[in-house]
Each structure stands twice: as structure tokens, then as C-alpha cells.
Amino acid sequence: MSEVIELTSANFDSVVLKSEKPYLVDFWAVWCGPCRAVAPVVDAIAAENSEKLNVGKVNVDDNQEIAQRYNVMSIPTIILFKDGEVATVSVGAVPKEELLSRISSYL
């Protein structure tokens, strides 16, 4: 089972951008209802794909500079990074199957 890492300004670049595996990053906030709805989806994808995917979460209230860097205007926003670059972006709470279909070609 893969652990979902809390990402911050201090560790984002070294953890996400230098990852050898694709990295799925969930941009969220405590007060965001749709973020809470999509959290179990992100956790399930992390658990089911741990051998080929890393997963982390960025609290946008605590790490606004990361959200700004990737133009996160609405949450939840889920970005898949591959080789340190943005591969695909999903905005809003989406079903697990839809999120998997968006990221599967990068895994």
C-alpha cells in the first residue's frame, strides 16, 4: 500500500519533480467539500498503483505558492507529474474511473 505524502513548499520540488515514478498531486483544502469527496478516490488510486505511481497532497491554504506556480484556481485540482513536468490536469471531483483513464497512459 502506498502512503500518500503531505507535500509542502519545503519538499515539493525534491519529492515530486525529481521522482522516478509519475507523481499524482491532489491540491485541496480542509474547508472544501468536493476535496473531501475525492480524497478516498485519490487514496484508493495510491493503494492500487503503488508500484508505478507516487501520490501526495498539497493543502493550498498552507502552500499557496505551489498552487500559484501550477495555476490552481479551483480545488480539488489533481495534477499528474511525469519526469518533473505536468502531464495531465483534472479539475473538480471526478469518479475514480475517469481519473484513472486520464492518468493511465502515463503509468
Asked whether 83 and 95 are in contact (CB, 8 A), the reply is no
Q: Which residue has the cell 480524497?
A: 39
Per annotation, catalytic residue among 7, 16, 35, 55: 35
Percentage helix, strand, coil for the chain under 3-state DSSP, each rounded to 5: 35, 25, 35
Please name which of 47, 55, 61, 1 lies closest in space to residue 23, comparing C-alpha atoms: 55
Does residue 32 carry a catalytic annotation?
yes
All cell numbers assigned to 63 = 502552500
Per annotation, catalytic residue among 7, 25, 32, 80: 32
Does residue 72 carry a catalytic annotation?
no
Which residues belong to the active site?
A: 32, 35
